[in-house]
Amino acid sequence: MSKIEPDARINLSKAIVIIIDASQHSLDVTAQILKGFGVATMHRFSTLDEANKYLRQRQADMILIDPSVDHGAGYDFVNELRHSGTQNAFVPVILVSGHVHPSDVARARNTGSNFVVTKPLAPTVLLQRVMWVAKDKRPFVEAGAYIGPDRRFKFEGPPIGSDGRRRDDLKTPLGDANEANLSIDELDALIKPQRVAL
């Protein structure tokens, strides 16, 4: 998703969002961004113990967590949440981190996180990810030690600039046309309203 489509709308006014970050400044910035998106109910926690106490008793609609909280225990938190069997086990989780290496992305994926977003947060990028998660139709799967959203994007096609990994992925570029392109007159004739004789 490179940009937000103008007709894309999402109402976050009733969403309950949990923000977990050891930095008070990051908690404040993230809360301000979410408030700008229309989120009215946010709960901010600086430790995993506080967040766990809340999540044991109440339902959340989304969790944003810095995985470095409590000395890097954020990844374990997501993994344990996915395996908890509680009402929050399938809540979308977006990891928000200032230092992201490819190994961190793989670790986040393997814990069952939905996305990783880098700090400093760009509101547009975060909104894109929130909207993606809200509209995501991928089922949650349990495969071995993994519980989380299906990591395969079956119907989205390969990422731009990639040839894909499956046998039936279309290769880019697609190549030359097999027949001549339609002329402007032919295209106009296709979309021009026609009278139908009855």
Neighbours of 54 (CB within 10 A): 16
Q: Residue-wise pLDDT tens for the chain (198 aa)?
A: 445 554 467 889 999 999 999 999 999 999 999 999 999 999 999 999 999 999 999 999 999 999 999 998 999 999 999 999 999 999 999 999 988 888 998 999 999 999 999 999 999 999 999 988 888 877 888 888 888 888 766 555 555 555 555 666 555 556 677 788 778 888 777 776 666 565
Give dist(CA 126, CA 124) in Å, integer: 6
Domains of the chain with bracketed CATH: 16-149 (3.40.50.2300)
For 171, the enclosing helix (H) or strand (E) is none
